[in-house]
Structure 1
Amino acid sequence: MENIKIDMTASEIGYLWSTYQAETLNHCMLTYFDKIVEDPEIKKVNKFALDSCENNLISLKSLFSKDNIPIPVGINDSDILTTTDRLYTDPFILYFQWFVGKGNLNYASLAINTIARDDIFDFYKNLLTKSLILLEDSRRMLLSKGLWIRAPYIPVPTEVEFIKKESFLNGWFNDKRPLAGIEIASIFYNLMTNAIGQSLISSFVQITDKGELRDYFIRGKDIAEKHIDLMSKHLKEQEIPVPNTWNTGVTSSKEPPFSEKLMLTLVTFLNAQGLSNYGNAISNSIKRDIGLDFTRLAAEVAKYGEDGTKLLIKHGWMEKPPLAKEIIG
């Protein structure tokens, strides 16, 4: 039987295009890290991430070419500037591996649910597998080096109970109850991701000259700090220890290793991930005040992200994503 060519669906084109944009960005970051990392164990983990990224880009280009889809520009080698200065420490580079692993794992798990074609399904299945390996390797190494920060502990349940009052949902007035484990998990996860984002954007403030981009990065740094403070407050109110968020790892270097296009594009990716994380936190929040706070934080990130997108458009750095057919008339 003759093979019948099946065109890509909107979902398949959309996810592949977005994945290519993200992987070109990751490739530049990981290439720079490969040049400056000193710890041989961390270098090995970074090399695995870099090799996986390069293979992903080869596969993506093949899929685009097979269907005569123009290969996007994305971020490329011209966005890595020549410098031998270390902007980041080895521990930060290791934590970034965890960040890439969890980001690819989350995105690929969303994408694969909408994929029909075998070749594209296989691509995301492989991306999931490699992302899980990277996540596991980076987690284990962070633990072995004493860098992994554990979530707070709560008492282990001793019996099964059922909720008897609707006040369990309250959070503002009387009948305040302790935070549920899933609520603490959401707060903790967002504390950690905000801390990594804060470190990255702080490094961009440090290496960017005066102007609207530097002002934008400073605003993002302030937003991350405010969000960390608000989430920490929920833990402190119930005398739950606030984890020491991992927000160091930036050296004193003033030499930019990346183009302004790369930095601004990365911040827009961080905004998108932040919105997704807050959406999950809202769905896991049973207490009204927790859910409302995450809703407010999400709105602030959405506005900040929109302003970043406007800057990308203003500077001519934003590629047009694949669109539906234009309606005439």
Structure 2
Amino acid sequence: MKEKIDLTATEMAYMWSSYQWDSMNIALLTYFQETVEDEQIQQVVDMTLEGSRKHHQKLEEILKSDQVPLPIGFSDKDVHLNAKKMYTDEFILYFIWFIGRGNLTFCSQALNTVARKDISKYYDECAAGGLKLVNHTRDLLLDKGLWLRSPYIPVPKEQEMVQKQSFLNGWFGDKRPLLGMEIGHLFFNIITNSIGLSLITSFVQVTKTEEIKKYLIRGKEISGKHIEVFSDVLKEEQLPVPSSWNFGVTDSEEAPFSEKLMLSIITLLNSQGINNYGMGLATSMRRDVGLHFTRLTAEVLQYAEDGTNLMIDHGWMEQPPKAPVRD
């Protein structure tokens, strides 16, 4: 008989975090399901919510079988289904695309580090689901004329080798045009910051606790500034910038979510933003672009730390699995 293999630290950490984030997604999607009006987008919401619930149940089974205490996460108490419609259907569709992309990225990272077969199988299925959701939402955004395409650049006529160290220049000397990868990361981070800006705008609108509202307003200003920085780089190259679109937020002042959930969502967005900027930095070879990602990452890190302190002060920060103290 085969002995049961214990969860490694990495496997436990990924499963614990997945349980938290799935409960967050379920809370968000439950509200979206209650307020969405477009039939096609309704189907996407239903499909995504059903998938999140299945994943959450499977996570619960695995954690319980390994005697890992279930995280508190989020529940029906964190969602106010009777609140007025806060988000337009178009924003809901964009945000579900954002959820799918986040799931795909997280599951892909998990697959690179987990070893136990049942855990690997779980994240394999989740990654496949995330890819399906990204493709489906992108197709629907395209059909509805909502998808924002990144700029076009000419097709190279022939192979070419880099001849000078000025290839790396940014602030001084000869400055080469942006590479396709650099354009892609700048453009993508404008889109994700725009989604975050819309979401945080809605939270500012309904938050009652003054210190949390001040923190959210600060986040709104940071998102706006980062969008401007990335946009200016594209404009200098005479490349198109994503057009300003409706924030996707109604004028409702009824909070659809608890302040704990809203602050937790911002914490997650901070984490994803840092990850996105890290990818941008890793693939940007022009010094000025790399420096933008470096200094803006530092700003998000500080903002994220202050958010974590707020979570701790309000008793909303759960302790993730950790190593034992060995003196």
TM-score, scaled relative to structure 2: 0.99
Q: Which secondary structure state, in structure 1, belongs to the residue aligned with residue 112 of structure 2?
A: helix
CA displacement 1:246-294 (0-9 Å, x = unmatched): 5521001000010000000000000000000000000010101100110
Deviation at 1:178, TM superposition (A): 0.6
Q: Take 1:40 and 1:228, find their aligned partners in 2: how far apart are those partners?
A: 32
Deviation at 1:97, TM superposition (A): 1.1
1:138: which partner in 2?
Answer: 137
1:260: which partner in 2?
Answer: 259
1:316: which partner in 2?
Answer: 315
Shift of the 273–245 alpha-carbon distance from structure 1 to 2, 3 Å rule, reads farther
2:225: which partner in 1?
Answer: 226
CA displacement 1:226-259 (0-9 Å, x = unmatched): 0000000001111111121555210010000100
Q: Take 1:116 and 1:4, find their aligned partners in 2: how far apart are those partners?
A: 15
- 1:100 lines up with 2:99 in the alignment: yes
Q: Which amino acid aligns with 1:69?
A: V
CA displacement 1:152-179 (0-9 Å, x = unmatched): 1111111111111101100111201111
Alpha carbons 2:30, 2:49 under 8 Å: kept: yes
CA displacement 1:2-27 (0-9 Å, x = unmatched): 12110000000000011111111011
2:324: which partner in 1?
Answer: 325
Deviation at 1:83, TM superposition (A): 2.1
1:284: which partner in 2?
Answer: 283
Q: Which amino acid aligns with 1:9?
A: T
Q: Take 1:246 and 1:21, find their aligned partners in 2: how far apart are those partners?
A: 31
1:199: which partner in 2?
Answer: 198
Q: Take 1:126 and 1:326, find their aligned partners in 2: how far apart are those partners?
A: 35
CA displacement 1:94-131 (0-9 Å, x = unmatched): 01110010000000000111111111111101100111
Q: Take 2:209 and 2:30, find their aligned partners in 1: how far apart are those partners?
A: 27
Q: Which secondary structure state, in structure 2, belongs to the residue aligned with residue 163 of structure 1?
A: coil
Alpha carbons 1:192, 1:245 under 8 Å: kept: no
2:181: which partner in 1?
Answer: 182
Alpha carbons 2:31, 2:80 under 8 Å: kept: no
Q: Structure 1 residues 244-253 or 270-279, which shifts more?
A: 244-253
1:114: which partner in 2?
Answer: 113
Q: Take 1:240 and 1:223, find their aligned partners in 2: how far apart are those partners?
A: 23
Q: Which amino acid aligns with 2:79?
A: I
| Root-mean-square deviation over aligned CA pairs | 0.9
Deviation at 1:209, TM superposition (A): 2.1
1:238: which partner in 2?
Answer: 237
Alpha carbons 1:168, 1:177 under 8 Å: kept: yes
Alpha carbons 1:271, 1:305 under 8 Å: kept: yes
Q: Which amino acid aligns with 1:241?
A: P
Shift of the 180–92 alpha-carbon distance from structure 1 to 2, 3 Å rule, reads same
Shift of the 82–135 alpha-carbon distance from structure 1 to 2, 3 Å rule, reads closer
Q: Take 2:81 and 2:175, find their aligned partners in 1: how far apart are those partners?
A: 56
Deviation at 1:325, TM superposition (A): 1.1
Q: Which amino acid aligns with 2:108?
A: S
CA displacement 1:192-234 (0-9 Å, x = unmatched): 1100001000100011125000000000000000000000000
Q: Which secondary structure state, in structure 2, belongs to the residue aligned with residue 114 of structure 1?
A: coil
2:75: which partner in 1?
Answer: 76
Q: Take 1:245 and 1:302, find their aligned partners in 2: how far apart are those partners?
A: 26
Matches within 5 A, 1:8-19: 8-19=7-18
1:53: which partner in 2?
Answer: 52
Q: Structure 1 residues 72-81 or 246-255, which shifts more?
A: 246-255
Shift of the 256–224 alpha-carbon distance from structure 1 to 2, 3 Å rule, reads same
Q: Take 1:27 and 1:98, find their aligned partners in 2: how far apart are those partners?
A: 15
Percentage of pairs with the same residue = 51
Alpha carbons 1:83, 1:256 under 8 Å: kept: no
Alpha carbons 2:31, 2:79 under 8 Å: kept: yes
Q: Which secondary structure state, in structure 1, belongs to the residue aligned with residue 178 of structure 2?
A: coil
- 1:124 lines up with 2:119 in the alignment: no
Q: Take 1:223 and 1:169, find their aligned partners in 2: how far apart are those partners?
A: 28
Number of matched residues? 327
Alpha carbons 1:83, 1:255 under 8 Å: kept: no
Q: Take 2:130 and 2:176, find their aligned partners in 1: how far apart are those partners?
A: 38
1:159: which partner in 2?
Answer: 158
Deviation at 1:82, TM superposition (A): 4.2
